[in-house]
Amino acid sequence: MIRVILVCIGLLALAAAGSLWFVCPCATVAGGPLSGEEIQDPVSDWSFVNAAGDVPLCQVEVTTPVPYSVNVNCMSTAGALYISCSHCDGKFWSSKALATPAGRVRAGVSVYPIMFSRVLDEGELDAAWRARAAKVGSTEVRQRPDHWWTFRLTSR
């Protein structure tokens, strides 16, 4: 009898974890394929992501054999779309974005096909950092940490 109860508990836990794959990304839990209306038209001005009430976070999906998506900070400056990642080196999703730059981003309820490009230019990194601070409502822009990565996302 105890074995049956343990098997049932295990199956329920597995079912719950499996359902998260279809619902998430949630907070720090990765998810599967992004859902939402797929927009194929190229986007030239991503400034709409700065409306924190409408787009508090973005979700990115990287190209892997099994779809993998995560929540990320997203911001726009001069119409360009950026995402940020703290201590990004070696994270699964960022490694995949570097290796295979084609991906998708969900901003609000819409999903857009994009290309990932890691930003290394100091001026562009600082501009994205300031845009991030403005979006989260920071009144004081502190120095950008060295472990903070930025990707520019462009329509494909």
Reported as a single tens digit per residue, the pLDDT across 5-31 is 544 354 344 444 444 444 577 767 899
Give the pLDDT band (50/70/90) at residue 2.
confident
Task: Select the more confidently predicted residue: 48 or 19.
Answer: 48
Residues 72 and 57 sit within 8 Å (Cβ to Cβ): yes
- Superfamily name and number for 2-155: Electron Transport, Fmn-binding Protein; Chain A (2.30.110.10)
Alpha carbons 148 and 140: distance in angstroms, whole number: 17
Question: Which pLDDT belongs to residue 52?
Answer: 81
Cα dihedral 132→137→139→143 (10° resolution): -20
Question: Which pLDDT belongs to residue 28?
Answer: 72
Q: DSSP per residue over 102-156, as a string?
A: EEEEEETTEEEEEEEEE---HHHHHHHHHHHHHHTT-SS-PPPPTTEEEEEEEE-
The percent of residues in the chain predicted with pLDDT above 70, rounded, is: 85
